[in-house]
Structure 1
Amino acid sequence: QSQIRSACAARSVAAPLPQRETPRTRPSQARRLHQRAWPPASCPPPLMSGGGDDSPNEITVEYEVGETLGTGHFSKVKLGTHRKTGQQVAIKIIQKPSGSKIAMLKAEVDILTKADHPNVVRLYKVIDTEKTLYLVMELLTGGELFDRIIAKGHYSEEDARVLTITMVKAVQYLHDIGIAHRDLKPENILLKDTTDTAEIKITDFGLSKIFSDDAAGEVVMKTACGTPGYVAPEVLMHENYSSQVDLWSIGVIVYILLCGFPPFYGDNDNQMFRKIKAGSYKFLAPYWDPISQDAKDFVSKLLVVDSSKRMDCEKALKHAWLQPQSQVSTKNLFEASQKASAGPPPSARAVAEEGGGDMHTMFVDFNLDRKASGIDQLRRAFELPTETVRLRRYKCAFSNQPGYLHVTTTHLCYLGGFGGNKKLCIPLTQIAGVSKAK
């Protein structure tokens, strides 16, 4: 359900910040830091709580409205089936906000209506009623890209290169029609379906903004938004910024694709922010030893603090690493790292807090942490009561699938790390009824 919820981009537009706030400092590991929205004030109160989704005639005449695929803070998504063609779609139902937020919601719709690219989620139809907005969208059932990589078990630098080409071309298309995504991250890179040849799709334009050329050929965007681990330094430094923020985010994503952990981390928010603003990262051994020099050069030319010196999409696509003649290894990085690594060095332990050491293990750990690192994410993932507090987290396995067991004040929750997102949730009141435990 969480895969489909993400696939349908079941989130609304993030409210712009009236003022930027200083990020709060609290201990946290690197992968966990990646997930908390920054700044906290950017999260408006929920727009809907589960009701108000009686579909209008414009929807029901054309589509049979089925089960709820997912819910978010701001919307819910239902399965729709076209009555004549049988085509399945995702019907995103958003209760319209009041006041100035209507304009923000309209901006998201304008973005989706404007985009028509094979690697960008499609918006087929918009139904605007007095209180509710209905978006008939492309249904994505393949889940998240990172889940597929882990489940596949075989992953090479060539695979990462092909994915990067597709991602950069899609972002170039968006920039060419005047759209900056501004919140590119693994959660927003999904797959069309479950086939091996499924197309990747960029989704969730909740933080996107249409920008227009000014006299200098660039318009600046001042709204601080994004997810901390992927956000460009110019955003953290409260400077005017442009669509180049997306290229920084691509650099972070490609770094993770090639080694299994993020480039920027720290014991608290401020440490990580300082590293991002300084562009301070390393290609740690032995994790980067199998990776080509061209790939490292590509990443280093994206993770450039000065946005004017950072590659844009056109230059990125001309880089040596992305050329057809580029000599890129097809060797399984998961298998290679398992043989090469005798455990992570101290500098990598800050990223791979549970140990492990090989790329596959770290990729699994990173993938799990980004989905349920904070209590808010855990509550959403398992639909826990609002008063729930997490007490402890344990690394474990279920049916040979690695994952985490979260012990909360109300439930025991298990989240698996492979594709399929295996989840189990048991209320503490029912623990006495559990027949077996290990």
Structure 2
Amino acid sequence: MGNSSSKVGFISEPPKKHAYFSFMKVKSNKNKEFGNEFCKTKKQLHLWSERSNERSNMSETRNRHGNKCEEKFRTRFDPRITARYDIKALIGRGSFSHVVRVEHRYTHQPFAIKLLEVGKHKGQDTCHVELGILRRVHHANIIRLVEVFETPHRVYLVLELATGGELLDRVVSRGFFTERDATKALVMVSRGLSYIHALGVIHRDLKPENLLYYHPGQDSRLIITDFGLACWSRKSQMVECDVRTLCGTPEYLAPEMVAGRTYGCEVDMWALGVISYIVLSGSMPFEQRSQPRLFKAILRGNYSFHGQPWSSISNQAKDFIERLLSVKPEQRMTAEQALKHPWLLNMAACSSNKNLHRPISQNLHQRASRASNYSSSSRSVPESRSVVSSRSQSRLDSGQLARIRCQHSVAVYA
């Protein structure tokens, strides 16, 4: 199939340590042997858990076994890749994909290589859409495709490597966080969404884990990653997927997606509203112990601004969230409208400069504790939230979902 035709150049920023990269998640039991041959790494912790100790342990494990893993796994990579890149560590694994950290042999710059298995029909379809989207996008707030290597059974995507950590990690680690800080992050996400929506791309799995800072510095750009579930909207001329598919992470799903209706870029704006709520409070707008209750809450648009730190948050910020968490998609702000909202446009100039770090951190830790207790008492809940991003947690059967949709769709869309 040939070599890359989409090389966009190398990154000028210096390499950083402790890189983390979100990876494609598609439900399957295939490809286990492939991952076992690389090396064993610890599973991702829950989104709301403390991660510093785990990451330190992972780093030590990689350093200790890195050379052994590299030699053992090197033969599984296309010679064109190993001639150009040193394989360093496995940093992510999906059913049809593996993500490894690599270093360019000559520039010594770090990158991530996402290896997609395309031997099966489903893997081919997913890879085709993701690759097509990544080849089209080029924006400061979108993950950048550097080059592509293709073989009859595998596709290797060389991507820029984000080393600055996830959005919420930055919020917690700073020790000081205000509404103005929140607007800086949300402006960058909105710019990225505005760009991909103009191209007709729907991300479909927008969440804090998929928003990564490029480097640890305060001036780092925030980038949207993981287009494994992305698709073209019907408004584009490249419709490659069914825009009625229920996919993504349950807590971030828009009402029209839950209801099984045709949807568009508005589902990403709903997810942006959920993210905005989390960034400002450390809690979820829609949180239930069971998925049927969660979906009912989403369909009804049941959320509130009660508890801390909402009493200290401006009305402009709340209005921004309300205009995104509108049950009717046609009433939701677009990304362009979000960028023109007074709260983002003025960078929260009229908001208080109160430090929200303590209540945000407390709410995040409380949710982590609840989730940990619930996971330990229920075998049906996946151990890692990353698995949930492509399939639902304790998944509803089709009959349950149909009943929920039937009960609420008339009232919601009347």
Q: Paired residue for 1:348?
A: none
Cα 1:57–1:370 shift into 2, 3 Å: farther
Q: Is structure 2 residue 31 aligned with structure 1 residue 44?
A: no
Query: Which string of whole-angstrom CA distances, capped at 9 and with x for unpartnered residues, describes residues 207-243 of structure 1?
Result: 110235279xxx9811111111110000111111111
2:383 pairs, out of 378, 382, 388, with: 378
Q: Once the 2 structures are TM-superposed, how far is the Cα of residue 156 of structure 1 from its aligned partner? A: 0.7
SS of residue matched to 2:284? coil
Whether the 8 Å CA contact 1:146–1:367 is kept in 2: the answer is no
Q: Paired residue for 1:364?
A: 365
Q: Paired residue for 1:285?
A: 307
Q: Paired residue for 2:23?
A: 10
Residue identity in the other structure for 2:22: A
Q: Once the 2 structures are TM-superposed, how far is the Cα of residue 86 of structure 1 from its aligned partner? A: 2.0
Q: Is structure 2 residue 126 aligned with structure 1 residue 104?
A: yes
Q: Paired residue for 1:235?
A: 257
Which ranges in structure 1 are unaligned for 5 or more consecutive residues? 15-42, 336-357, 382-438
Give the % identical residues: 34
Q: Paired residue for 1:330?
A: 353
Whether the 8 Å CA contact 2:253–2:267 is kept in 1: the answer is yes
Q: Once the 2 structures are TM-superposed, how far is the Cα of residue 65 of structure 1 from its aligned partner? A: 2.4
Cα 1:368–1:79 shift into 2, 3 Å: farther
Distance in structure 1 (CA, Å) of the matches to 2:180 and 2:312:
12
CA RMSD of aligned residues (A): 2.8
Residue identity in the other structure for 2:334: D
Q: Once the 2 structures are TM-superposed, how far is the Cα of residue 131 of structure 1 from its aligned partner? A: 2.1
Whether the 8 Å CA contact 2:113–2:156 is kept in 1: the answer is yes
Whether the 8 Å CA contact 1:260–1:359 is kept in 2: the answer is yes
Cα 1:377–1:203 shift into 2, 3 Å: farther
Q: Paired residue for 2:151?
A: 129
Query: Which string of whole-angstrom CA distances, capped at 9 and with x for unpartnered residues, describes residues 237-289 of structure 1?
Result: 11111110000000011011111101112242222211110111111034310
305-314 or 101-110, which moves further after superposition?
101-110
Q: Paired residue for 2:321?
A: 299
Q: Once the 2 structures are TM-superposed, how far is the Cα of residue 83 of structure 1 from its aligned partner? A: 2.3
Q: Once the 2 structures are TM-superposed, how far is the Cα of residue 68 of structure 1 from its aligned partner? A: 2.6
Q: Once the 2 structures are TM-superposed, how far is the Cα of residue 89 of structure 1 from its aligned partner? A: 0.9
Q: Paired residue for 1:343?
A: none
Residue identity in the other structure for 2:365: V
User: TM-score of the superposition, structure 2-length normalised?
Assistant: 0.72
Q: Paired residue for 1:139?
A: 161
Query: Which string of whole-angstrom CA distances, capped at 9 and with x for unpartnered residues, describes residues 139-197 of structure 1?
Result: 11222111121111111111111111111111111101121101111111111122232
Residue identity in the other structure for 1:362: N
Residue identity in the other structure for 1:131: H
When you count strand as a share of all residues, which structure comes out higher?
Answer: 1
2:233 pairs, out of 201, 211, 216, with: 211
Distance in structure 2 (CA, Å) of the matches to 1:371 and 1:195:
31
Whether the 8 Å CA contact 2:234–2:264 is kept in 1: the answer is no
SS of residue matched to 1:168? helix
Whether the 8 Å CA contact 1:8–1:92 is kept in 2: the answer is no
Residue identity in the other structure for 2:337: K
Cα 1:145–1:380 shift into 2, 3 Å: closer
Q: Paired residue for 1:116?
A: 138
Cα 1:201–1:54 shift into 2, 3 Å: same
Whether the 8 Å CA contact 1:48–1:75 is kept in 2: the answer is no
Q: Is structure 2 residue 290 aligned with structure 1 residue 268?
A: yes
Q: Paired residue for 2:402?
A: none
SS of residue matched to 1:76? strand
Q: Once the 2 structures are TM-superposed, how far is the Cα of residue 364 of structure 1 from its aligned partner? A: 3.0
Q: What pairs up with 1:115-264 in 2 under 5 angstroms?
A: 115-213=137-235, 221-264=243-286
Q: What pairs up with 1:78-89 in 2 under 5 angstroms?
A: 78-89=100-111
Q: Paired residue for 1:36?
A: none
Cα 1:301–1:284 shift into 2, 3 Å: same
Whether the 8 Å CA contact 1:168–1:316 is kept in 2: the answer is yes
Q: Once the 2 structures are TM-superposed, how far is the Cα of residue 84 of structure 1 from its aligned partner? A: 2.4
User: TM-score of the superposition, structure 1-length normalised?
Assistant: 0.68
Residue identity in the other structure for 1:307: P
Distance in structure 1 (CA, Å) of the matches to 2:222 and 2:214:
6
When you count helix as a share of all residues, which structure comes out higher?
Answer: 2
Q: Once the 2 structures are TM-superposed, how far is the Cα of residue 122 of structure 1 from its aligned partner? A: 1.0
Whether the 8 Å CA contact 1:48–1:74 is kept in 2: the answer is no
SS of residue matched to 2:204? coil
How many residue pairs get matched?
A: 325
Q: Paired residue for 2:117?
A: 95
Cα 1:379–1:165 shift into 2, 3 Å: closer
Residue identity in the other structure for 1:202: I
Whether the 8 Å CA contact 1:65–1:79 is kept in 2: the answer is yes
Distance in structure 2 (CA, Å) of the matches to 1:126 and 1:372:
43
Distance in structure 1 (CA, Å) of the matches to 2:206 and 2:98:
22
Q: Once the 2 structures are TM-superposed, how far is the Cα of residue 120 of structure 1 from its aligned partner? A: 1.0
Distance in structure 2 (CA, Å) of the matches to 1:101 and 1:95:
6
